[in-house]
A and B are shown apart, each in its own frame.
Chain A
């Protein structure tokens, strides 16, 4: 089954304690992206990657890091989480090769993060 998985789904942590949210896709997609969703602000892009070892900042990258060592994985790292990073996080992937429906972004189930 084609899917994007994220772990953990829920996380409560304290300020300053480093954490990693994993994201994996099994569709051989080149493009992967992280978003945060906050009420009234929609989906804002944090980082994206167009291939292995190729990453770039989105609209709200401050306080986050990513890596793309393998095509299927795109972990999101919070080195020193702060309360303003409390949010719902989505990973997504898509193909960059045109075919019918190719540009659809497939989202993971989301990770609800609370930083106290």
Chain B
């Protein structure tokens, strides 16, 4: 089955700086890569996703890049704000709905 590794496990950034989270996957058939954000005590929610026919996707301050050859993808958050503090999960799927998640990254934005 698919194995998704996520790094780092924790990330502390100064407000206004950028944050980058990286994930690698094992199944070359994977073609859908979503990112979920989980605020403390809340449920995970989709923040951005990318499909394998696209190398990069942006949505305001967040962007995701994908390198299919190397089997890795990354989440970039620019101009971080306190509300960006949360746990972020990457995931991969070969059929769009059955997701394999990474272990999560706890992001703390320092004021």
Contact = CB atoms under 8 A, between A and B. Distances in A.
Interface of A: 31, 33, 35, 40-45, 48, 50, 59, 90, 94, 96, 98, 103-105, 107-110
Contacts of B36: 105
A31 B95 CA distance: 12
Interface residues of B, number: 22
B102 A42 contact: yes
B43 A109 contact: yes
Given A45-B99, A94-B97, A105 B104 contact: no
A42 B101 contact: yes
Nearest to A107: B43
Interface stretch (B44-52, B54-62, B64-72): B44-52
Contact of A103 (B1, B34, B104): B34
B99 A44 contact: no
Nearest to B103: A42
Given A33-B99, A43-B44, 20 more contacts: A31-B97, A33-B98, A40-B9, A40-B103, A42-B102, A43-B89, A43-B104, A48-B98, A59-B100, A90-B43, A96-B97, A103-B34, A103-B49, A104-B34, A105-B44, A105-B46, A105-B97, A105-B99, A109-B43, A110-B43
Contacts of B89: 42-43
A55 to B, nearest CB: 12
Interface string B86-100: 000100010011111
8 contacts: A31-B97, A33-B98, A42-B6, A43-B44, A45-B100, A94-B97, A103-B34, A103-B96
Contacts of B103: 40-42
B44 A90 contact: yes
Contacts of B45: 107
